[in-house]
Amino acid sequence: MTSEELANAIKTSVDAVQSRILGVGKDQYDYGDTQTFEKMTISELIDWALEEANDQIAYAVMLRIRLTRLKRELKKAFTV
pTM beyond 0.75 = no
For the chain, the structural domain boundaries read: 1-32, 40-80
| CA atoms lying within 13 Å on the CB side of residue 10 | 7
pLDDT tens digits for 9-61? Answer: 999 999 999 999 999 999 999 999 999 999 999 999 999 999 999 999 999 99
Burial 4-36 (b: 16+ CB within 10 A, else e): eeeeeeeeeeeeeeeeeeeeeeeeeeeeeeeee
